[in-house]
Amino acid sequence: MAAAVPPDALGRRVACGTDYGTVRYVGSVSPTAGIWLGVEWDDPQRGKHDGSYEGTQYFKCRHPKGGSFIRPNKANFGVDFLTAVKDRYGLNDKQDAQCGTGDTVVFGTKTVEFVGMDSVAEQQRQLNKLVDISVRECAVSHAAQEEEISRTCANMRHINLSKNLISSWETVIAIASQVQNLETLNVSENKMRFPSTSTFTSSAFSNLKILALNQTEITWTEVLLCAQGWPVLEELYLSSNSITVLERPDNVLQTLKLLDLSDNQLLDGNQLHLIAQLPRLEQLILRNTGISSIHFPDAGFGCKTKMFPSLKRLAINENKISQWSSINELDKLPSLRALQCNNNPFMNTEKNPETLIQLIIAKISQLEVLNNCEILPAERRGAELDYRKIFGKDWLEAGGHWNPEKNKPSEEFLAAHPRYPILCLKYGAPEEGELKRQQPLTLKNQLLTLTIKCPEKPEQKPVEKKLPESMTIQKVKGLLYRLFKIPGSDLKLSYKSSKLEGKEVELDNDLKPLQFYSIESGDCVLVRW
């Protein structure tokens, strides 16, 4: 017996085994008999042709081998949302009828017997308890009858509808409009049609705070049209779509705190300027978006931009950023605290990964977390001091001077090192002795002459030691154990710089070398226990 074809089959999403596709044709295919479905498959390898058969083009595909014909009985057009929920949570009617008991209810003078009424009531109670519902990969294609969902699942707050057979945004609205307090919705991996005009605004998403639309083929224009119905949305996930061009979100998305645009190939970094005025945006994820530069033209050297006023966390990893000037620009963001920037070409400009991290830390003043690692105060201080020394010669040659009246570094230098003047104010201009050309790395040149004191044990005389700058704090403690007969685990180390009077820096990481803390010959190591 031939399977019935839904009247709205054209454009519907179908499943055939584990493969998903969209119906592009319904009808006969000469010279065969019967009805065929022409399907454009999500995975082109599932297909055989471009929608043509023996010289006749029945439908079109984006991939030359993305289509094929199947019989209707091979296609799964899906089920309604409520059926999927009952099947997913083992509460379908068939089970109820098998395990239920009989009961009667009187309507006026008529007595009606209900089979399995106890079980149906229990099922209703169980469905009403559900707050988080996941029907991922349950072949959901349409909503249930009007108000049936709201009667049955009154307490739903969070719904996962990802990877189903939803063909249009209207279906999502039909489901959501029956969930009064919907807060989280995931409809990712549903290739659906979105409205092209703002005909009306639905109130279905009036309480929605988190929405995932990854891999739905939505465009940014469609996002802005739909966003008119998301008045309190805080998190929007749009990974792996067809978004290449952005537009200014006027009067929409004003409550947004997180935006994920990863795996969309944006035309250029200037596209970001169009979303830069989102007032509450705190986290922006731009992983693998193809951007090669970042620039905030409204702010000069050492100034803060008015763009992205609330942005605290930024992910730009796996992009094409090759110039350090883009990292300099990030210091203009007034609220930036966390950055992910791995796998960009500029990361290959330094062979020493430790130096690379130090450069990024020194260039972005307010950064607290870099590539998911917390930046400790001592690490920031060491990075800024090293940066000040490394580029000291360049500063002098560009017109820098210890005398403030003669200190006039060139525009070119300031463009490359916009934080350098601030670091000179913070730590003082680098002294000539610090800026000697780097000598060959012989053991002699790497030895630090340090004075070791015990401030709480005045009877212990200061000791002078020559230690390799690559020596870890843990090994220094081992040396001091032999010197003072105090277990290394009981020792607390810090140091005072001969150039920064009154400041004491704790040596708090046993695995770091002395050079990590920018300790120099002539400094004093303080030992306490």
Sign of CA dihedral 89, 92, 98, 99: positive
- pLDDT recorded at residue 76: 96
DSSP H helix total and E strand total for the chain: 14, 26
Q: How far apart are CA 499 and CA 514, in angstroms?
A: 17
Residue 97, pLDDT score: 34
Contact 163/190 with Cβ under 8 angstroms?
yes
pLDDT in the model for residue 504: 85
Q: How far is CA 305 from CA 270, 281, 308, 379, in A?
A: 14, 15, 8, 26
Superfamily of domain 79-91+124-378: Ribonuclease Inhibitor (3.80.10.10)
pLDDT at 302: 85
497 touches 507 (CB < 8 A): no
The segment(s) of the chain belonging to CATH 3.80.10.10 are 79-91+124-378
Packed helices 353-363 and 377-390: angle between N→C axes, nearest 10 degrees? 90
Domain with CATH 3.10.20.90 in the chain: 447-528
Give, in words, the CATH class of 12-74. mainly beta
Distance between CA atoms of 122 and 130, rounded to whole angstroms? 13
Q: Which part of the chain is CATH 2.30.30.190?
A: 12-74
Instruction: Give every CB contact of residue 94 below 8 A, 6+ residues apart in sequence.
Output: none
Q: Please, which contacts does 5-8 make with residues 24 or more away whose CB atoms are closer than 8 Å?
A: 5/35, 5/37, 5/72, 6/77
CA distances from 452 to 78, 202, 334, 475, 493 (A): 76, 72, 41, 15, 10
Cβ neighbors of 376 (< 8 A, separation 6 or more) are: 508, 509
Looking at residue 143, its pLDDT comes to 95
Q: Kindly give the confidence (pLDDT) of every residue in the chain, 529 residues in length, as a single tens digit, with 9 standing for 90 and above.
A: 456 899 999 999 999 999 999 999 999 999 999 999 999 999 999 999 999 999 999 999 999 999 999 999 999 999 999 999 999 987 765 444 333 334 444 434 434 333 343 555 566 567 888 899 999 999 999 998 888 898 888 899 999 999 999 999 999 999 999 999 999 999 999 999 999 887 566 789 999 999 999 999 999 999 999 999 999 999 999 999 989 999 999 999 999 999 999 999 998 889 999 999 999 999 999 999 999 999 999 999 889 999 999 999 999 999 999 999 999 999 999 999 999 999 999 999 888 888 899 999 999 999 999 999 999 999 999 999 999 999 999 999 999 988 888 899 999 999 999 999 999 999 988 876 666 444 444 444 468 889 999 888 888 888 898 888 888 888 888 888 877 777 767 788 999 887 777 788 888 888 888 888 888 888 899 998 8
Q: Which CATH number fits domain 447-528: 3.40.50.720, 3.10.20.90, 3.30.365.10, 3.90.25.10?
A: 3.10.20.90
Q: Which of 339, 331, 383 is nearest to 357 (CA)?
A: 383
In whole angstroms, give the CA distance from residue 479 to residue 496. 19
Q: What is the pLDDT of residue 431?
A: 73
Q: Virtual CA dihedral for 88, 149, 180, 250, nearest 10 degrees?
A: 80
Give the pLDDT score at 330. Answer: 98
pLDDT value of residue 121: 59
Number of residues assigned to the chain = 529
Structure tokens of 316? 């730009």
